[in-house]
Structure 1
Amino acid sequence: MCTRILWNTNALGVFVARTMDWPTTTEPKLIIFPRGRQRQGNHLGTTALEMANPARWQSRYGSAVVSMYGLGTVDGFNEQGLAVHLLYLTATDFGTRHPQKQGVHAGLWGQYLLDNAATVKEALDLMAQIQPVMITIQGFASTVHVAIADASGDSAILEYLNGELVIHHGRQYQIMTNDPPYDEQLAYRAQFDFTNATRQTPLPGNVDPSHRFVRADYFLQVLPEPRNQREAIASVLAIARNVSVPFGAPNKVPGSLYNTEYRTAMDLTHRYYVFELTTAPNILWFPLEKFELHPEAPVMMLDPSHPELAGDVAAQFAPVAAAPY
């Protein structure tokens, strides 16, 4: 469970936030990858998956990402301002493996796009070459769909349903949550008219993905124009907090409700990243421009769970001898 909010209708820039909702910790790490990294689509931590025709590539762009279990990227943007967000979708079906397409395990799907594309259009063109491959992490199948956005404000939602890639492409696709598939989410959202909304207008108030979708979209439409970057980031984070799932929320059906572990916000115009653990009152941030991204630069990493971290943490990143992926 997660929520993604893209604000591409203000005059200041393109801002995007997301929540990460999961039943246990995802062991998130903040990672800076320089360009020129050699990768392959079957690489899984210290092992390799059995996979026909795995993709092999060298990254064209450096990126700032959040990892999950050290096995892949679930959130991040690259130096060109392309952002990816992986969210859970039970209906995901990557279909029968087609070895004529290069395979990329689902945990590296987002990183593949960050490494190779500068815009949403370029990322969509790349999808003709690859096929995501399902993996299991900590007992959970990687049934994910992906939201992408770029510094121009373009957006796309990518889902695999019944083995086929379904794409919603356009600036209007600002919100994404989880189940049901996106067409059904849009149909549910269409039932609500907030043209003349007041504080008495009823809003779906639970933590079901469809409720979060409508609520996030409503508040996004009424955000005031920001006066500066600080206000813009605070605005999208406010919506992310509004649709977060508090610890202890009722969960009568095991596996049906995940608490929010962290939130991120990005300024894609100025390449600025914000991270907030829900178990700590501190907000962390860093501008990508403070990092070396040339091919000889080291991979830099930070564990955001350290309680003393707050504010601009660029100087707290440390080089790692061996990158997790």
Structure 2
Amino acid sequence: MCTRVLWNDNELAVLAGRTMDWPESTQPLLVAFPAGRERDGGQLGPATLVADNPLRWTTRYATIVATVYGLGGIDGFNERGLAAHGLYLESTDYGPRDPAKPGVHAALWAQYLLDQAADVSEAIALMDDVNVVMAAAHGFDATIHLALEDASGDSAIIEFSHGQPVIHHGRQYTVMTNDPTYDEQLQLLAAQDFSHPGDSMPLAGNASAIDRFQRASYFSSMLPKPQNQRQAVASVMAVMRNVSVPFGAPDDKFGIYDTEYRSISDLTERIYFFELTTSPSIVWVRFDDLDLVAGGPALAVNPYDETLIGDITDRFAAADIAF
């Protein structure tokens, strides 16, 4: 499931929060990749998903991501301040494979855009020349849509319907959850006027994607102007905790899953914050202080390491990452 909230009008920093809601652990690693890495968009671990005309590229930009099942980055940003967040969307339809276009499987879709694009507009332009192909892991299809934002505060939501990308591009697209499609979510939101929130306004309180969309919109519209970066990050994290799904969600019956982690991408200071719901400690990494060497090894840390707390930049170590 999941929720993404972008705060791009606070005059201090561009911040994006997300929750990862899933029926099991996504086995995340926090990984920093240097530029100059070779990738194959047709390979998913040992399996070949795109045998005919796979997309291959050399990464232009260094990135920091949270991985999903070790198969690709699902959340994070790059050195130019472009961030990407992959969220579940059951209605996703990538369409049939078009061998005339290089193919990239869905688990590497977000990583590809982070590797190659400097901002939202460049990421959107890259979509003209690639064909996103379904991937699956642990019995789950990667039917995802992407939220993008950059250090200028620009934003985009990209979904696939009948094989075609449906793109909402503009600073005003700050909240995303899951089904129904983004067009439908916006129509539902239009029925609620959150421009002047008050204590008498009825507010949806369920954990469904529709209710979380409205609740995230409501509370993010109420955030006070921050006095410093610490307050700004805390403000976004407060909203993400509000729209998180507590343990015991009725996943099998309603398709609603517990929140595994929350993250915040600070695209102004280039700091990635990460909070496991099973940990009392939040951790963060200062991207600019990582010792990344172009063409060199990836650096990684396991966020489930219970000794981690606070600034963990110096805990990143060389790692053999398969993708």
Compute the displacement of 1:194 (Å).
2.6
Compute the displacement of 1:50 (Å).
4.2
For residues 170 and 103 of structure 2, what CA distance do their matches in structure 1 show?
Answer: 26
Could you tell me which residue of structure 2 aligns to residue 35 of structure 1? 35
For residues 194 and 127 of structure 1, what CA distance do their matches in structure 2 show?
Answer: 33
For residues 232 and 111 of structure 2, what CA distance do their matches in structure 1 show?
Answer: 26
Could you tell me which residue of structure 2 aligns to residue 60 of structure 1? 60
Does structure 2 conserve the Cα–Cα contact (< 8 Å) formed by 1:86 and 1:147? yes
Could you tell me which residue of structure 2 aligns to residue 122 of structure 1? 122
Matched, 1:147 2:164: no
Could you tell me which residue of structure 1 aligns to residue 84 of structure 2? 84
With over 3 angstroms needed to count, the CA separation of the structure-2 counterparts of 1:79 and 1:128, relative to structure 1, is: same
Give the aligned residue type for 1:157.
Answer: I
Could you tell me which residue of structure 2 aligns to residue 324 of structure 1? 322
For residues 140 and 286 of structure 1, what CA distance do their matches in structure 2 show?
Answer: 30
Normalising by structure 2, we get a TM-score of 0.98
Give the aligned residue type for 1:83.
Answer: A
For residues 196 and 15 of structure 2, what CA distance do their matches in structure 1 show?
Answer: 25
Could you tell me which residue of structure 2 aligns to residue 132 of structure 1? 132
Could you tell me which residue of structure 2 aligns to residue 281 of structure 1? 280
With over 3 angstroms needed to count, the CA separation of the structure-2 counterparts of 1:260 and 1:8, relative to structure 1, is: same
Compute the displacement of 1:100 (Å).
1.1
What SS does the aligned partner of 1:178 have? coil
Q: Deviations over 1:259-278 (max 9, x none)?
A: 10000001101111000000
For residues 105 and 51 of structure 2, what CA distance do their matches in structure 1 show?
Answer: 9
For residues 279 and 140 of structure 2, what CA distance do their matches in structure 1 show?
Answer: 26
Compute the displacement of 1:154 (Å).
0.3
Q: Deviations over 1:241-270 (max 9, x none)?
A: 00000001344616x111100000011011
Compute the displacement of 1:299 (Å).
0.6
**Which runs of 5 or more structure 2 residues have no equivalent in the other structure?**
none
For residues 165 and 296 of structure 1, what CA distance do their matches in structure 2 show?
Answer: 32
What SS does the aligned partner of 1:295 have? coil
Could you tell me which residue of structure 2 aligns to residue 225 of structure 1? 225
For residues 94 and 79 of structure 1, what CA distance do their matches in structure 2 show?
Answer: 29
Superposed, 1:1-325 pairs within 5 Å as: 1-251=1-251, 253=253, 256-320=255-319, 322-325=320-323
Which aligned runs of 4 or more in structure 1 are off by greater than 3 angstroms? none
What SS does the aligned partner of 1:128 have? helix
How many corresponding residue pairs?
Answer: 323
Does structure 2 conserve the Cα–Cα contact (< 8 Å) formed by 1:34 and 1:292? no
Compute the displacement of 1:197 (Å).
2.6
Q: Deviations over 1:92-122 (max 9, x none)?
A: 0000111111100000000000010000000
Give the aligned residue type for 2:67.
Answer: S
What SS does the aligned partner of 2:131 have? strand
Does structure 1 conserve the Cα–Cα contact (< 8 Å) formed by 2:250 and 2:257? no
With over 3 angstroms needed to count, the CA separation of the structure-2 counterparts of 1:129 and 1:50, relative to structure 1, is: closer
For residues 284 and 196 of structure 1, what CA distance do their matches in structure 2 show?
Answer: 34
Does structure 2 conserve the Cα–Cα contact (< 8 Å) formed by 1:204 and 1:214? yes
For residues 68 and 196 of structure 1, what CA distance do their matches in structure 2 show?
Answer: 38
For residues 222 and 146 of structure 2, what CA distance do their matches in structure 1 show?
Answer: 25
The alignment-based identity, stated in percent, is 53
What SS does the aligned partner of 1:253 have? helix
What SS does the aligned partner of 1:16 have? strand
For residues 196 and 9 of structure 2, what CA distance do their matches in structure 1 show?
Answer: 19
For residues 113 and 156 of structure 1, what CA distance do their matches in structure 2 show?
Answer: 12
Q: Deviations over 1:119-161 (max 9, x none)?
A: 0000000000111110111001110000000000000000001
Compute the displacement of 1:40 (Å).
1.1
Does structure 2 conserve the Cα–Cα contact (< 8 Å) formed by 1:233 and 1:266? no
Compute the displacement of 1:295 (Å).
1.3
Q: Deviations over 1:31-62 (max 9, x none)?
A: 00000000111121244334321001100000
Does structure 2 conserve the Cα–Cα contact (< 8 Å) formed by 1:3 and 1:19? yes
State the Cα RMSD in Å: 1.1
Normalising by structure 1, we get a TM-score of 0.97
For residues 247 and 222 of structure 1, what CA distance do their matches in structure 2 show?
Answer: 27
Give the aligned residue type for 1:164.
Answer: Q
Does structure 1 conserve the Cα–Cα contact (< 8 Å) formed by 2:37 and 2:59? yes
For residues 215 and 27 of structure 1, what CA distance do their matches in structure 2 show?
Answer: 28
